[in-house]
Amino acid sequence: MSTTSSKALPTPQRQVPAAPEGALIFYRDSRRPQGWGGFLLALWMAIYIGQALPLWIVVSGALLTMLVVTVYILKFRPLQAIAWLHNGQLTEQRFWLPKRVTALNEPPQVVYYGDGEWLLQYPDGDQQRQTVVVFTDNLLPAEQQGKVVIRRIQS
């Protein structure tokens, strides 16, 4: 016998659980419908290969499914935290690998290359690393406080 609670579920936060309080968080855009569209197209192809439905239903269903997923992803624009800057250390959250922590001597640069593409650039030893990020409103006060440098590449 199970009992149910009348308490509402907690709302998910956009903060990274491991990010310290007061850290400047950089986000990546997870609105990439290509991955989801390909996955769902593979499901429809499996139905077609199994000859469970006629071809016109499979094609219509695949197109409709991809349209619904794309509209959903573009409407809600989910952002995923990819890195955070705290006390001169930049921590990169990686999918499979452990976090990469880089001690920075100077603030990282957020560079606009055009077509909505922003890159977070920072030196790591003798290499220059770049990570694609989303330009969010929290970067503007951080620039005024000297935490990041925001610049545009003129072409």
49-101 confidence digits (pLDDT tens): 888 888 888 889 888 888 887 787 777 767 778 889 998 899 988 878 898 89
Mean pLDDT, to the nearest integer, of 117-122?
A: 86
Cα 75 to Cα 38, 70, 78, 80: the distances in Å are 19, 8, 9, 15
Phi-psi region of 13 (alpha: psi -120 to 50; beta: other; left: phi over 0): beta
Domain ranges, ordered by start, for the chain: 24-28+80-152, 33-76
Tens-digit pLDDT profile for residues 39-58: 778 888 888 888 888 888 88
pTM (predicted TM-score): 0.61
